[in-house]
Amino acid sequence: MRFDELDLDERIMEGLEAMNFEEMTPVQEHTIPVMQKGRDLIGCAQTGTGKTAAYALPLFDKLLREGNPDNVVKSLIVVPTRELAQQIDVQFQGFAYFLPLSTTVVYGGGDGVGWSQQKQGMLMGADIVVATPGRLLAHITNSGIDLSHVGYFVLDEADRMLDMGFQDDIMRIIAQLPAQRQTIMFSATLPPKIRELARKIMHDPEEVSIAVSKPNEAIEQSAYVCYENQKTGIVRELFAEPKNTKTIVFASSKMKVKELAFTFKRMKLNAAAMHSDLEQERREEVMLDFRNGKIDILVATDIVARGIDIEDIGLVINYDVPRDPEDYIHRIGRTARASADGAAITFVSEKEQGAFHRIETFIGREVAKLPLPESVGPGPKYDPGKDDRRPGSRDRGRGRGRGRDRSPRRTSEPKTAAPAAGANEAAPARKSSRNKRRRFRKPEQKAE
């Protein structure tokens, strides 16, 4: 289905034509008409399927038709991390390049100037507010932000927000919204806790599921079955020759990320760490350098990397097997975006074989096992059944009798505490305190 078959404002169509957007992705084709009808919507789709445009385009169309004569906050998009908030802002710039709409991006960290700019943007009225839960609640408590005129509420990556412990925060935010609104929820998975949340906050929602929990077929998946102490040697061999592509290495914890980045640098690899202990300014600097090719390898945790949307990532390495099959889907989904090809390699140690076998079962295929480089020596046999039969081992969800993943527990981003006005906070990129409304600037790369 083509975008010109939708009844969208001609100025939105100008932006789409300028970006060479003609055909809709499946998630856009199935969700945009539902939103245009004013229905509440639960969209189940993986990252990289075009879900941002799926809710952005009908939202822009509604805001243009209604206008904002009272200068109030008209729509609210809540996301789990500051990286995703920034990424959505960049994507909106492309789609809304020709539109007279205003936006305010609200997230924590950094200096006090950002707090004042965020507060001013919301108090003066913004057509769109994109926010992380902790910072938004801090503004509600300390800045007198009025959300009683919000007509459109979007929860993006709802499953990740609940995983990070934001459910209570979400309910506190929703308590500030009018009962009569259109609510849109996007999630990569639909576990019972997501359906329970939808039951509480939505009215007769329509559900659309697109390619649920299946990796992109364009991703070449493989694995090395190895001992834990062989993993750095495999990395050394993989990067003995330049890859000429961006690479993300996923690790299980912040501490592991720091250790690996240090090790890679000692191996003369052009690597940098991305974790929540970094100051906001440094995190933005690392992401900009990675996007521009000044950094070849980004070492990151699941939570931080969830907001990364860069189209030319050619390789994903799972240094540690992820705890949940869904996390595997999200990790490898960083590559093979925008119709490109990509590769995903997982290092599977002895104690991780049971967890990796559950991933293979979940995705419905056996992942190719690559021979280890001669320099690292022979590895263990892939026998996940043996891992499952270890004395005293237990499987999450079944209680006992199967192997468990003993990798460090996933860490979540810390919530931002409500600061006093003027406290140290992050300055949102590209904001000006002089003008209430700013025109979106055209991004240098395609938006999702």
Residue 93 has a pLDDT of 82
Nearest to 324 by CA among 159, 129, 79: 159
Question: In whole angstroms, what is the distance from residue 364 CA to residue 361 CA?
Answer: 5
Q: Is 258 exposed, middle or buried (0-12, 13-18, 19+ CB in 10 A)?
A: middle
CATH of the domain at 227: 3.40.50.300
Question: In whole angstroms, what is the distance from residue 7 CA to residue 161 CA?
Answer: 33
In a domain, 204, yes or no: yes
In the predicted model, is pLDDT for residue 429 greater than 50? no
The 8-class DSSP code of residue 235 comes to H
- Highest-confidence segment of 24-28, 40-44, 158-162, 331-335: 40-44
Tell me the two tokens of residue 88.
């959505």
Tell me the two tokens of residue 207.
């559900």
pLDDT band of 306, cuts 50, 70, 90: low
Question: In whole angstroms, what is the distance from residue 400 CA to residue 423 CA?
Answer: 49
Residue 213 has a pLDDT of 58
Considering the domain architecture, whether residues 178 and 246 belong to the same structural domain is answered as: no
Considering the domain architecture, whether residues 195 and 286 belong to the same structural domain is answered as: no
**Total number of domains constituting the chain:** 2
* Among 157, 179, 209, residue at a domain's last position: 209
Residue type, 378: P
- Per the structure, the complete domain to which residue 33 belongs is given by 3-209
Considering the domain architecture, whether residues 186 and 241 belong to the same structural domain is answered as: no
Contacts of residue 435, Cβ cutoff 8 Å, sequence gap at least 6: none
Considering the domain architecture, whether residues 182 and 245 belong to the same structural domain is answered as: no
**pTM for the whole thing?**
0.62
For the chain, the helix, strand and coil percentages under 3-state DSSP, each to the nearest 5? 40, 15, 45
In a domain, 30, yes or no: yes
Tell me the two tokens of residue 293.
């090719």
Number of neighbouring beta carbons within 10 Å of residue 174:
20
128 membership: H or E segment, kind and range: strand 128-131
Residue 178 near residue 149 (C-beta atoms within 8 A): yes
- 430 vs 176, residue with greater confidence: 176
Report pLDDT digits (tens) over 83-118.
889 889 888 888 888 899 999 999 987 667 889 999
pLDDT band of 74, cuts 50, 70, 90: very high
Residue 204 near residue 169 (C-beta atoms within 8 A): no
Question: In whole angstroms, what is the distance from residue 418 CA to residue 139 CA?
Answer: 7
SS3 346: strand
Contacts of residue 240, Cβ cutoff 8 Å, sequence gap at least 6: none
Considering the domain architecture, whether residues 55 and 82 belong to the same structural domain is answered as: yes
* Among 365, 388, 411, residue at a domain's last position: 388
Question: In whole angstroms, what is the distance from residue 265 CA to residue 181 CA?
Answer: 51
